Chains A and B, each alone.
Chain A
Amino acid sequence: MNTALQIFREKIPFLHDICQAIGHSILNVIQALGAISLFVLQTLRHCATPPIFIKHILRQFIDIGYYSLPVVGMTALFTGMVLALQSYTGFSRFNAESAIASVVALSITRELSPVLAGLMVAGRVGAAIAAEVGTMRVTEQIDALSTLSVNPMKYLVVPRVIAGTIMLPVLVLIGDIIGVYGGYIVSTHVLGFSSGSYLYQTWQVLENIDVVSGLVKAAVFGFFVTLMGCYHGYNSGRGAQGVGMATTNAVVTASILILIFNYILTQVFFS
């Protein structure tokens, strides 16, 4: 076996190097998946066992929920407005302008509000968590927590994950209302729709499952955003570069997970 490997390395060195690099990458991915899975299990275990730092959770409600409201609200408002404009442009070719209210309501509640709110919160909150926890790791504050008989997972991770999982659905619900209102403003003030009929159509087309599915998605996204922020911060490398890398990785992995789980949950709810 060794001889075969040696011959391969000597005869076709560039191919050997490529295979080696691919192998390393695959091993790294598997290792990261294992580490993340263990982190998830640890987090869930600590969520279910006392002590729970209630005051910290309430503070995270403010940090994650209240302070994200402007960015989520603006995103939802302009998305609803653009959606109404674009739908009108496209649907008018087939004389289907009357479907705008339905398209705006369903798109916002089912997909756009949870996904865009998730991505915006990943950028704002996920990055902030990774930077804060990462800095605490680099400056040994996490070790200091352990020496003061406080479990860092319980003190730092659990409050953020609980707050993220609860607050993102609240943000998405507010985003749903603002997004639909954005479509309403454009439709009634720019495109000349009747206010009453627009609202009637919106009300008629919306079902419980449309809103609920969006809120369930939001809870899952909130869990992943905060979890990835905590995971990458907790395992941050040394120095400013390590913290920077942790922040980037937190946002990237959370965003990718949001897109993947959006598909999976859509499949579960609507197939």
Chain B
Amino acid sequence: MTKRNKIEMTGVYKAFGTKKVLQGVDLNVPVGSSMVIIGGSGTGKSVTLKCVLGLLQADKGSIKVDGMDMIKASTRAREEMMKKFGMLFQGGALFDSLPVWYNVAFGLIHGKDMDKKDARKIATEKLEQVGMGEAIANLYPAELSGGMQKRVALARAIATNPEIIFFDEPTTGLDPIMADVINELIVKCVKDLGATAMTITHDMASARKIADHVAMLHDGKIVWTGPIDDLDNSGNPYVDQFIHGRADGPITDLQSELLKSA
């Protein structure tokens, strides 16, 4: 039986001035599945994610979440929809003026009007879920290591039990062991919640661990999409070059091109 789609992107375009970043992205994410978007730097992965989240307004096309078009929706409807989302930012994006527990409880207190005491209890549970004890709850983000900050950010992303979780480069800047720990936590948290996940990364180890489906973004378009098991036999030259990290192939080095044209 085919699962219905939680997220449907059709012909999404986004440009910044004369720079065309997304040039007709088509992508479907089935309910409860984990979609990983891979692609080189500057191909529009983050922009795709931010367009779905509504942090950036797409110029053209349709982005449907649970059947609601996020581009045409009113601000109020979009704000309501945001309550279904959780997001792990690349750098954590923890609020450095607030202690760890408040960071995790922030969405519960301000987004869901929960009592502080109850929110703190849930925050502590979520911190335990990502392997962080009560001891760090009163510390400030600046007092934590990069890996610990990522864990706290993950706890914050899942604190409101979201239906859809976005992960922006979850393992960037971490050592391989900590990266694997974060990957494991992501898989566990997404499974526990039964959430739909959308991850962007260029870390192939992370993609293989997290993904049910993979989409390859190149030049503002999805050039290949399929199940993770098909990734090594995709028959797509862009995917082959990217997953093997070869310099030769259809994907040209953008920086070298720019240097040549200068």
Contact = CB atoms under 8 A, between A and B. Distances in A.
Interface of A: 139-141, 143-144, 146-151, 155
Given A149-B111, A150-B110, A143 B50 contact: yes
B85 interface: yes
Nearest to A140: B93
Interface in B100-138: 106-107, 110-112
A74 to B, nearest CB: 28
Nearest to A132: B97
B93 A144 contact: yes
Nearest to A150: B110
A150 B95 CA distance: 13
A140 B91 CA distance: 8
Nearest to A154: B110
B220 interface: no
Interface residues of B, number: 25
A144 B93 CA distance: 6
Contacts of B86: 147
A144 B83 contact: no
B82 A155 contact: no
A155 B110 CA distance: 10
Contacts, number: 51
Contact of A141 (B50, B95, B166): B95
Contacts of A139: 91, 93
B70 to A, nearest CB: 13
Q: Which of A140, A141, A150 has the most CB of B within 10 A?
A: A140
B107 A148 contact: yes
Interface in B67-98: 79, 82-83, 85-87, 89-91, 93-96
B82 A146 contact: yes
B50 A147 contact: no
Nearest to B53: A147
Contact of B111 (A140, A143, A150): A150
A143 B110 contact: no
B110 A144 contact: no
Given A141-B95, A143-B50, A143-B55, A148 B111 contact: yes
16 contacts: A139-B93, A140-B91, A144-B87, A146-B54, A146-B55, A147-B82, A147-B166, A148-B106, A148-B111, A148-B156, A148-B160, A149-B83, A149-B107, A149-B111, A149-B112, A150-B110
Contacts of A140: 89-91, 93
A222 to B, nearest CB: 22
Interface in B128-169: 156, 160, 166
B111 to A, nearest CB: 3
Contacts of A146: 53-55, 82
